[in-house]
Chain A
Amino acid sequence: MTHSPPLRRYSLRPNTFWLLAPAILLLVVWTQIPFVLTIYHSFRRFNLLNPERQGFVGLENFHSQLTDPIFWTAVQNTLVLVGSVLAITVLLGLVLAVLFYQDFPGRALARTLVISPFFVMPVVSALIWKNMLMHPVYGLFAWIAQRLGQEPIDWLATYPMQSIVLMVSWQWTPFAMLLILTGLQSLSKEQLEAAKIDGANAWQEFRYIIVPHLAQTLSVVVMLETIFLLTIFAEIYASTSGGPGLATTTLPYLIYLKAFGEYRIGVAAAGAVFAVILANIVAIFVLRMIGRNLQGGRT
């Protein structure tokens, strides 16, 4: 046989399977064992500090989480954080991308500069914002406020969620911008010229040509950002520690608190299982939206 049928070419022959087996096994071990362990622990009472009271408790950990008002506040905070950051970064990213799409002297340098926040480590960025910008005594904002004869604002205490949203948006806007800019570069100049000849103004160009063209890119941005933003932790840990009160306690931070602040591994594991469920629910919505957008983009 010199010509194998096209379909056969990609199917695994038994001997290739055995060659791949170690890699597949490693992958399964790497990704699934932590998850299985999390599920296992979520059914146990397991407090690191209290070895005397351990054992299986059925659904008690889940019940404990679901009846805890703190848990629901955390879910709500997570959604608020992800939603606001998404809205801000996509809008700002879109505006910046359109601006940086234009030709102007020093564009390469400006592009590099505008991307740089994305390469700052989250903890470092949180500390910069907390101590150098927002601090009510030593911060730059306080200094500006005092120069203008205003009372300095204690940002992280007065507007905690807004401050976190600001920090995270600052970090993720470049990411959105970068992807959108790439999308823009695949737009054909002829199409824009044709629109101009037809008498379209700048707004119409943006609304009827650029945005529909970008639908696919925007969907990808939304999906990727949602996945990353659901796990935002370092900014909260380093700046507000989930407070004041519960103002910035998100689901990842709550799980961290249960596991490493209270050493209640069982309850933390139950929280983690819920986080996976929440991520899946959000993913379903996002994927649906993307599906619709992709169709919209085609027509």
Chain B
Amino acid sequence: MRLWKFLALALGLGSLALAQTTITIATVNNPDMITMQKLTPEFEKANPGIKVNWVVLPENELRQKVTTDIATNAGSYDVLTIGTYEAPIWGKNGWLVEMTGLPASYDLEDIIKPVRAGLSYQGKLYALPFYAESSMLYYRKDLFAAKRLTVPAQPTWTQAINWAKTLHNPSGGVYGICLRGLPGWGENMAFITTLVNTYGGRWFDENWRPQLTSPEWKQAIGQYVELVTKYGPPGVTGNGFTENLTLMSEGKCAMWIDATVAAGYLANPKTSKVADKIGFAKAPVATTPNGSHWLWSWALAIPKSSKKVEAAKTFITWATSKEYIALVGRTQGWVSAPPGTRYSTYNNPEYQKAAPFAKVVLDSINTADPTRPTLKPVPYTGIQFVGIPEFQAIGTQVGQFIAGIVAGRTSLDAGLAQAQAAVEKIMKEAGYLK
């Protein structure tokens, strides 16, 4: 008798589960995505037919999983978290579902233009932005004031180098400047490419010939190596975005140049020891303002291999909507609202009040132009990356060589010559160079 009851119960539960659609979402373990995960019950309450299953991983691992999954058409995920690098390339390959038929209330015109363009290929939108970012300079107002230094809205690299020298005080627990050193095309190379850009360098000339031994690269990398080895924290080749965010929020850096998305975290007293002492300025400029600050967006997309496209679309329109941003503002405080995606966020007086960095962020995103990343013309689009499938290989390899220079294993010239040779090899094999 008991067994029958049990079976009946099991069948009942089974049919209940059938009525529900479960979607699997792969995402990055950044603070904003953790918030999205926390707020999922609200979504499930509003859409009782959909259950959400999360796969949350560090950036590098997520990329590997998602890329192998989509390229082999495995179909393990219904929603992917991808960036402005992947969206156009994958859209071109026909791997993503085009973002059409969105409800009118979604207000596509409200999405910030450069961000929307970055997620499109030939005018077709392949992902919706969850948050978007540029890069900027964070500095400690108290330390700068103590030395009577003032930071203009648009500093130069000469100024930044002098500030790093003046404020470097390791015995006092403060390093002059924190910068990324962890190898990877999305780690150290993202920052380094903007530095090379503003010194007038480029990855390739118009005929796809690599330019890594050019004077501009030598000057920029030389400057970078000097900064991180003399005025940076020890162990810089192990520091990526997350490590630097920790160092900065613990008050160990006088300056830090990195993603604008860190602003909400640093200005929030719950997560930062220096919340009331952080100043914001545009990323420093050397020879040219072009490409001195990047453009990136973490966006949500649906792979062609998904069998639950409608449910997945319902989720990503929710997670990137005005209502979601308002929900985060209400429940987590406006300072934590996902930045960079919508004009309405920046027109919202509550956000303007809570986020002293809003104007710098919006300006940086609006002035970032992926089609003109440096002084001279280039055959590619992308500011802190080159929009070709081979760039992951190139960026990661060059990132390793530069970490080798920072660690003192090779000289600047030898390291860049090795990097140049490696890039030439990859470009030849990929058919760009004859």
Contacts and interface: CB of A to CB of B under 8 A. Distances in A.
B72 A48 contact: yes
A283 B137 CA distance: 55
Interface string A214-253: 0000000000000000000000000001111111010000
A156 B403 CA distance: 12
Contact of B422 (A53, A70, A154): A70
A260 B418 CA distance: 22
B93 interface: yes
Interface in A144-179: 152, 154, 156-158, 160
Contact of B404 (A47, A60, A246): A246
B183 A47 contact: no
B237 A50 contact: no
Of A135, A154, A243, A247, the most chain B CB neighbours within 10 A belong to: A243
B253 interface: no
A245 B430 contact: no
B401 interface: yes
A95 interface: no
Contacts of A274: none
Given A49-B89, A242-B400, A261-B393, A136 B410 contact: no
B57 interface: no
Interface stretch (B63-71, B75-83, B376-384): B63-71
A261 B185 CA distance: 10
- Contact count band on A: 35 or more
A264 B396 CA distance: 13
B392 interface: yes
B406 interface: yes
B425 A68 contact: yes
A247 B409 contact: yes
Interface residues of B, number: 39
A51 B410 CA distance: 36
Contacts of B233: 137
Contact of B67 (A48, A154, A160, A245): A48
A264 to B, nearest CB: 7
**What does DSSP make chain A's interface, helix, strand, loop or mixed?**
loop
Contacts of A245: 400-401, 403-405, 407, 409-410, 415
A49 B392 contact: yes
A203 to B, nearest CB: 42
B429 interface: yes
Contact of B389 (A50, A136, A243, A249): A50
B67 A261 contact: no
Contact of A53 (B236, B407, B408, B430): B430
B349 interface: no
B71 A243 contact: no
Given A136-B234, A245-B401, A260-B68, A158 B392 contact: no
A171 to B, nearest CB: 21
B431 interface: yes
Contacts of A50: 389-390, 430
B208 to A, nearest CB: 15
A158 B408 CA distance: 8
Contact of B406 (A47, A244, A262): A244
B366 to A, nearest CB: 30
6 contacts: A48-B67, A137-B235, A157-B237, A262-B390, A262-B396, A263-B392
Interface of B: 64, 67-68, 71-72, 89, 93, 182-183, 233-238, 389-390, 392-393, 396-397, 400-401, 403-410, 415, 418, 421-422, 425, 429-431
Given A157-B237, A247-B409, 9 more contacts: A60-B429, A135-B235, A241-B182, A245-B401, A245-B409, A247-B404, A257-B396, A261-B396, A262-B396
